[in-house]
Amino acid sequence: MIETLYVNRPLENGEQFYKWAKSQRFTHILDPKDFHVTIAYSKKKVDWSKLVPQKNNINIKGGERVIKPLGNEGAVVLKFESNILTKRWKQIIDAGGSWDWESYQPHITISYNGSKLDLNKVEIYDQPIILGPEEFKKLDENWEEKLKKD
């Protein structure tokens, strides 16, 4: 299939992550089943046959982690390091995928309405980040509009 491509890995320990976010006084936290890491967001059509979805889980421990705003709309994310995810992103780009940003930085969105929280007072999530198998989907460029309806 040659189509746009969105690839993500769901956060398998989303309940634990949610409890941490709640303890840090975040509001409007994503539902635990919606936590994920995006690997590909290609508006350019890609030959999916060149990219076999990876079915293994990934367990990320340690490494540098920071809480930062993402964009100007109030989104707050946990950014972290992962050579595995960065290499996979590069494989997708090398297979013809596009990426609209300057670089790739793995992250998990905590809230789309977290701009009022003093992020300097947030304790970094230091537990393992357990990511499930890759999910491949056709890109939905209107995903933000769906958020506003919720």
Which residues participate in catalysis according to the annotation?
36, 38, 107, 109
Q: Look-up: residue for tokens 């508006």? A: 43
Contact 86, 39 (CB under 8 A): no
Task: Compute the residue count for the chain.
Answer: 150
Cα distance between residue 112 and residue 16, in whole Å:
19
Q: Which residues contact 143 (CB under 8 A, 6 or more apart)?
A: none
Nearest residue to 41 (alpha-carbon basis) of 118, 144, 148, 136:
136
Pick from 48, 35, 37, 139: nearest CA to 91: 48
The rounded distance, in Å, linking the Cα atoms of 94 and 96 is 5
Provide the 8-state DSSP code for 150. Answer: -
